[in-house]
Amino acid sequence: MAINLATKYSNKIDEVVKATSLTNVAVNTDYDFVGGQTVKVYSFGVAPMNDYLASGSNRYGTPAELEDSVQEMTMSQKKSFTFTIDKTNAIDSPEGVRDAGKALRRQIDGAVTPLVDTYRLVKMATNSAYSDYTTITTSIAYSKFLDANASISELEMPIEGRIAYVSPDYYKLLKQDTNFIKASDMAQDMLIKGQVGSVDGVAIISCPSTRLAAGVSFVITNPMACTSPIKLADYKIHEDAPGVAGYLVEGLVYFDAFILNNKKNAIATQFGKLGALTLAMTASTTGKGVLAIGGNSNGGTLVYKTASSQSAATLGLDVSAWTAVPANGEITATAGHKVAVAVNIGDKAVAASSAITVAVGE
């Protein structure tokens, strides 16, 4: 653990700077979880339209009971943190450097907020009614957005209130798409200003790719589609707590996000860039080795496949037959074979590693 103390250090801190919450505008808190962990929500369909008859006893048609379904939403995310700021370390540092209040604010901005944003955006991307797996280029960036937005309209979802979260890479490709530039005076004006305020009537928010599901270029949603209660956000600074000389900082956030069954049609997701995974393998016991995988796997399942001439997965490849990577990373394989891993969302590859040579114990 690194604790750097010096009387000549500057009392100004190179603060960790993170984007504030990006998703509060894209969710609702319409459902009351107070007093309970689970909420059940009724969804109703509509009755069929009939030809009206001007005579007889059932002139409006034969009545039938309106059908319903129940969606059960149970909160599951309870995340916490804790750290100390020792009194002697604080004294031996420039004044204000080890301030507990600033440290707590830094924790909320740099850890809690990105965690909640990522969870919400992953839920949207992995529960959307429309998903497309096509590599985005400058020539199709605009048309693919129009296709996704049109898919929502075809499902008779409201136009008003739509919001799109776009990756920085997609945002760049969109601005370079000549079709977007020529689409309207508004688009041309936005390009000159270096901003994209809206596309096809949808508000645009540029979002770090680390907060999006793996492989996502953009996700279009509507606040009515996702309810995301934060039931508890409890942060404490204890001065000279038992066993601590200084400050003990603790935090708990109890939250979740749910896509409503009758509103998922308001979400469309474009998986437009194959995410990059790193892969290494070390030998363990006889015929087995341990995979070490790095990269963005948000919202997906890590899967692998091994064969004598295994190739790396491509964007949108069907990986439903690939095997889930065990929690400890240990797999059975044949020496001299190749192994590749991928992130599986919707049975499609959205991120992948290169294929490497298997390493197993003898």
Domains of the chain: 77-269 (no CATH), 275-357 (2.60.40)
pLDDT beneath 70, residues of the chain: 1-19, 34, 182-197
Q: What is the pLDDT of residue 1?
A: 54
- 29-69, pLDDT tens digit by residue? 888 776 778 888 877 878 889 999 999 889 999 988 888 78
What's the whole-model pTM score?
Answer: 0.84
Give the pair of three-digit tokens for residue 276: 């990059």
- Residue in the block written with tokens 């935090």: 251
Q: What is the pLDDT of residue 342?
A: 98
Q: CA dihedral defined by 104, 106, 108, 114, rounded to 10 degrees?
A: -160
User: Do 342 and 319 meet the contact criterion of CB atoms below 8 Å apart?
Assistant: yes
The beta-carbon contacts of 178-183 under 8 Å, at least 24 apart in sequence, are 178/138, 178/139, 179/139, 179/142, 179/143, 180/141, 180/142, 183/142
In a 3-state reduction of DSSP, which class is residue 163? Answer: strand
The count of other CB atoms within 10 Å of the CB of residue 17 is: 8
